[in-house]
Amino acid sequence: MTSKQIREKYIKFFTERGHKEIAPVKLVPENDSSTLFTSSGMQPLVPYLLGQTHPAGKRLVNSQPCFRAEDIEEVGDNRHTTFFEMLGNWSLGDYFKKKQLHWIWEFLTQELGLAKEKLYVSVFEGNRDVPKDEESFEIWKSLDIAEDHILFHGVSENWWSRSGSPDKMPVGEIGGPDSEVFYDFGNDNLLEIGNSVFIEYQKQEDGSLKELSQKNVDFGGGLERLTTAMLDQPDIFQTDLYDSILRKIEEITNKKYTENKAGMQVIADHMRAAEALIAEGVVPSNKLQGYVLRKLLRRSAVKLRQLNKSADLSLIVSGKVIKDETERFGRTIDHGLKEIEKLDHINGKAAFDLYQTFGFPYEITEELFRQKGQEIDKEQFKAEFEKHRDLSRAASAGMFKGGLADNSEIVTKYHTATHLLHQALRTVLGSSVFQKGSNITAERLRFDFSYERKMTDCEIKQVEDLVNQKIKEDLVVTKEIMDKDSAGKSGALGFFTEKYGDQVTVYSIGDFSKEICGGPHVERTGAIGGIKITKEEAVSGGTRRIKAEIMLR
Ligand code: SER
């Protein structure tokens, strides 16, 4: 069975059981500054898992491309990737454990025809705050799964939230116990192929977990892994999903995959990811998504160079972005080589600096010195590397994980303030103004809009006063679900309207503002307190940017 057939069967299986297929979102999330990438199918659904009504209903299904930057160092074996496709189905407070586990089992064993004897399942064993998941255990048993194929684990294995175990969940974050399915390739080589998360808890200020008002199911299964299980061989790179890219790598390096697995796995994964990011407009840079893309390309370039010195990355995936970056990095390599020439001894720390400054992976430096007859202290390199990794992990933890801060009270206030600001700009500057982007953190809002020139101080003050006036009026915020056409006709401003199919949510603030939006929003504008515009500047020709902060009044 091909990966395409598996994807189609999954979507069909769940649509036949009352699920609506929703469109996947982009890898670079829109309107969400708390994370760099979409790393799971549930990420754009958080407001709905928390109780908001989804326009497509309570049962959803889709296939979502995902990118997990935090896994970059793991790539180079038969199962890890940064980029993958997640098949997902959700119950937003509708069915729960029984239906989910029955359906997943039916899908795997009957639709896909995987042998029951090859499957293992796992169940949450319970901890201080959350009881053992006896219910899932009984359900699996009732499906005739042998007890020695049912494994119990604690929070490290059988708890899922975007930030991991309960103690790592920030206030407001949702999660719950989960139940995984594994495929056994023999000799205890188990591969997780699907995970049903029972999202029923939310982290509280006092550190406790509170039950959500609705009990949700969030299932995710990696298409690459399901495909490899269907082939009964454990290397996801030997599935049709990687076929064409591996053939290209073999062709341009003139080497065989089976003899150069680790290097080619890195190139294949990273270049697939790079291609997808570039398609969304990401360009290599030293910041945020651009930095991650640069890292993907450089790691690939180095691996490729190790396989064949004259092979060119842009022959694997073509495009100007890749060509330019490869040329730039080629110069960096030359520069780095000159630096190395200058050093008469290279210790582990210097090897690490080369890695940091020039992007020279350790193996390359080691190889170059082996050629020069020098050995490097690998332990010292590793120690430097770990130190740095811990630091950068801590600094970027929030950013690389799924949108963590997004539904806090303050961010919700900023969401509503953004709508008010948008309308106020249109009232003061004219209706040619429209939103081009927005980005919210717990500290400020940033709003990009179309306008030809710098705003005058007087205009800025007028906009600020108008927003604060509307806050003072304590207007009621209302929500309506309607089809896209009616929303358009009602005069609602619309952005990213392709996201949720035909039905959209429209938020109105009194009769001042009306916008299509996923929310969440405050119930009345008075809750915001007041805002202050802190900056007005150009982003590019025809686009201006405003930053504003919420002030207590
Ligand atoms: N959100 C869960 C995961 O990413 C299941 O979809 O594993």
- As beta bridge partners, residue 191 has 183
CA of 197 to the centre of ligand 1 (A): 7
Name the closest-CA residue to atom 5, ligand 1: 220
Q: Which residues line ligand 1 (CB under 6 A)?
A: 40-42, 88, 160, 195, 197, 218-220
For a mutational test of ligand 1's pocket, the pick from 10, 160, 174, 196, i.e. the residue with the most ligand atoms closer than 8 A to its C-beta, is 160
Substitution candidate for ligand 1 out of 182, 193, 197, 223 with most atoms within 8 A of CB: 197
CA of 276 to the centre of ligand 1 (A): 21
Closest CA to 347 of 386, 321, 376, 323: 376
Q: Which amino acid makes up residue 5?
A: Q
The three-state secondary structure class of 39 is: coil
CB atoms closer than 10 angstroms to residue 220: 20
SS3 track for 338-387: HHHHHCCCCCHHHHHHHHHHHCCCHHHHHHHHHHHCCCCCHHHHHHHHHH
What ligand 1 atom has the least distance to the C-alpha of 160? Answer: 2
Domains of the chain: 3-237 (3.30.930.10), 409-550 (3.30.980.10)
| Ligand 1 atom 4: residue of nearest CA | 40
Q: Which atom, in ligand 1's list, is nearest to the CA of 195? A: 5
Residue 411 CA to residue 47 CA, distance in Å, equals 12
Residue nearest to atom 7 of ligand 1 (CA): 220
Cα-Cα end-to-end distance for the chain = 63
Instruction: Return the half-sphere exposure (C-beta side, CA atoms, 13 A cut-off) of residue 152.
Output: 12
DSSP conformation letters of 17-29: TTPEE-PPPPSS-
Which of 39, 49, 86, 181, when mutated, tests ligand 1's pocket best, judged by the most ligand atoms within 8 Å of its CB? 86
Q: Which atom of ligand 1 is nearest to the CA of 40?
A: 4
pLDDT in tens, the chain (553 residues): 999 999 999 999 999 999 999 999 999 988 676 789 999 999 999 999 999 999 999 999 999 999 999 888 889 999 999 999 999 999 999 999 999 999 999 999 999 999 999 999 999 999 988 999 999 999 999 999 999 999 999 999 999 999 899 998 988 999 999 999 999 999 879 999 999 999 999 999 899 999 999 999 999 999 999 999 999 999 999 999 999 999 999 999 999 999 999 999 999 999 999 999 999 999 998 778 998 998 899 889 888 888 888 888 888 998 899 999 888 887 777 677 777 777 767 778 878 877 766 667 676 677 668 766 777 778 887 887 777 665 555 444 444 433 334 556 788 899 999 999 999 999 999 988 988 888 887 788 999 999 999 999 999 999 999 999 999 999 999 998 888 888 888 888 875 444 445 778 899 999 999 998 877 899 999 999 999 999 999 988 889 999 999 986 5
Question: Which residue has the CA at smallest separation from atom 6 of ligand 1?
Answer: 220
Ligand 1 centroid to 39 CA: how many Å? 9
pTM: 0.72
Render 241-306 in DSSP notation, one character per residue: HHHHHHHHHHHHHT--GGGSHHHHHHHHHHHHHHHHHHHTT----SSHHHHHHHHHHHHHHHHHHH
